Chains A and B, each alone.
Chain A
Amino acid sequence: MSILTKDIVAQIFTRPFRIRPILHQMVVVGLNTLPIASIMAIFTGMVLAVQTYYQFRQFDLETYIGTVVGLSMTRELGPVLTAIIVAGRIGSSTAAEIGSMKVTEQIDALRTFGVNPVRYLATPRFIALVTMLPFLTIYTDFIGILGAYSISIIKFHIRSSLYIDKTIHFLDPPDVLSGLIKAIFFGAIIAIVSCHKGLTSGEGAQGVGRATTNSVVLSSILILIIDYFLTIILP
């Protein structure tokens, strides 16, 4: 996997730089993930608001729902849940697509045409995931906070200005930034793992199936482990 990472990075700086395949992958990763990311984010935000309300009410701290949701979404839940969804949606399809290209000799065919498979298949996906995952994370942060805000105002009758004030007052730029830095790392993990699993896929439908499953499982585990270390390192 380290050889593949080195290859992918080397190919980013190899001319000519092709923008079309990268834009295509950006649409696949970013735009097409928006619907599922929206559902995940809005319900996560609402659940978080409900849980926080019932706990904080005992201490008359329910006006701090915005603070808890804001920090949780931007620092942890936004980047991690978005990455897990992208690992399931994009990581699996990448491993399956590249894996089936391998078993049907399409990777060999690329090489016979003098085209480096890593440059053609892995590098555009890597760039798209590393750039789009932070944008998706900002989006899910916002939708999650919006979901929590709606439920707090409508169901728990918390004053809107108070909720917004408590959210903004405790939410600093480093909170959002640390989530975005995490998203960049998670994007790289998903791209490298899924491309590696696809390129080393076993023969036949079973081999491709195993590569797909392993890609999602390994990406998800690595996201959770790396998240812990990044949480310690980042301010």
Chain B
Amino acid sequence: MIQINNLWKSFDGNQVLRGINLNIIQGETMVIIGQSGCGKSVLLKHIIGLLKPDHGSINVFNEEITKLSDKNLYKIQKRFGMLFQSAALFDSLTIAENVGFFLYEHSDLNNDEIMKIVNKNLHMVGLHNIESLYPASLSGGMKKRVALARAISTNPDVILYDEPTTGIDPIMAAIINNLIIRMQKELKVTSIAVTHDMTSAYKIADRIAMLYQGKIIEIGTPEEIKQTQNETVKQFILGNAEGPIYSKFEDNI
């Protein structure tokens, strides 16, 4: 469904991605793990066409998206839903206008019909009676759930999650994890999540890929990842201060 081949990307001379190869199968939940700042979000933004690679190809729904015009790219982007790390709700719009944003922009539905969908989507993420509020008055966890309700308003084939559980309490993180699993089961969507939260990764993933130094160094089911012999992966998933990653960190200092 999504094939990434030899993807390279640098920012101001800083090489972030160094030849990523990754295939994502329809209907699966792929979790990409890695340290903060290792390029996970950059990879996600390439998949949805928000960033253009320096080199390499990304094939989505049988279209090579790196070469598409903006107009054709929009057609592909409409088949995605994305939950941003910061939720990225539009500050100047109410929750109802946020969740119904895509429908207000791109459908011929009237306000009552859109509000029905908005309420259904908010109900799906466990939120009620907040339609007229503004994002500033919501907690971090609620913002993420509203963002998820907004992401599914496009009836997406793929949902991308950028650090879905970062910055929220463990209970809310568990609720978000359950929602991700529910989205996959009920909406039959393919999910790609990037995170450094291993509890979340084990809970939601069908497969886990680890990104390190701009490359995918390991890929497998949660069980396979738990039993890895790769010292770098082992250090990361166990959260050890010492190991190959620490040595590299020390070298950099």
Q: Which of B61-101 contact A (CB under 8 A)?
A: 70, 74-75, 77-78, 80-82, 84-86, 88-92, 101
A106 near B105 (CB under 8 angstroms)? Answer: no
A113 near B85 (CB under 8 angstroms)? Answer: no
From A104, A111, A113, contact of B101 by CB (8 A): A113
Q: Is B202 an interface residue (CB 8 A)?
A: no
B91 near A111 (CB under 8 angstroms)? Answer: no
Q: Is B50 an interface residue (CB 8 A)?
A: yes
| B135 to A: closest C-beta gap in Å | 10
How many Å lie between the Cα of A53 and that of B23 in the bound state?
Answer: 81
How many Å lie between the Cα of A125 and that of B111 in the bound state?
Answer: 25
A114 near B78 (CB under 8 angstroms)? Answer: yes
Q: Is A172 an interface residue (CB 8 A)?
A: no
Q: Is A60 an interface residue (CB 8 A)?
A: no
Q: 1/0 contact trace for A101-136 toward B, CB 8 Å?
A: 100111011111111100000000000000000000
Contacts of A97 in B (CB 8 A): 92
Q: Which of A193-212 contact B (CB under 8 A)?
A: none
How many Å lie between the Cα of A122 and that of B225 in the bound state?
Answer: 47
B82 near A112 (CB under 8 angstroms)? Answer: yes
Interface size class of A (residues with CB under 8 A): 10 to 19
Would A111 and B86 be within 8 Å (CB), given that A101-B91, A106-B91 are in contact? no
Question: Which secondary structure dominates chain B's binding surface?
Answer: mixed
B88 near A108 (CB under 8 angstroms)? Answer: yes
Contacts of B50 in A (CB 8 A): 108, 111-112
Least CB separation from A115: chain B residue: B105
Least CB separation from B48: chain A residue: A112
Contacts of B86 in A (CB 8 A): 104-105
Contacts of A101 in B (CB 8 A): 90-91
B90 near A114 (CB under 8 angstroms)? Answer: no
Q: Is B45 an interface residue (CB 8 A)?
A: yes
Contacts of B105 in A (CB 8 A): 113-115
A106 near B88 (CB under 8 angstroms)? Answer: yes
Q: Is B102 an interface residue (CB 8 A)?
A: yes
Contacts of B74 in A (CB 8 A): 114
From A100, A105, A116, contact of B85 by CB (8 A): A105
How many Å lie between the Cα of A26 and that of B245 in the bound state?
Answer: 55
Least CB separation from B76: chain A residue: A114
How many Å lie between the Cα of A116 and that of B71 in the bound state?
Answer: 10
Give me the interface of B with A, judged by CB distance under 8 Å: 45, 48, 50, 70, 74-75, 77-78, 80-82, 84-86, 88-92, 101-102, 105-106, 154
- The 10 lowest CB-CB distance pairs between A and B, nearest first, are A105-B88, A114-B74, A109-B88, A105-B84, A113-B102, A112-B82, A104-B86, A106-B88, A114-B78, A108-B50
Give me the interface of A with B, judged by CB distance under 8 Å: 97, 100-101, 104-106, 108-116
Q: Would you list 24 pairs from A and B whose C-beta atoms are within 8 A, ordered by A residue?
A: A97-B92, A101-B91, A104-B86, A104-B91, A106-B88, A106-B89, A108-B45, A108-B50, A108-B88, A109-B84, A109-B88, A109-B90, A110-B90, A111-B77, A112-B48, A112-B77, A112-B80, A112-B81, A112-B82, A113-B101, A113-B106, A114-B74, A114-B75, A114-B78
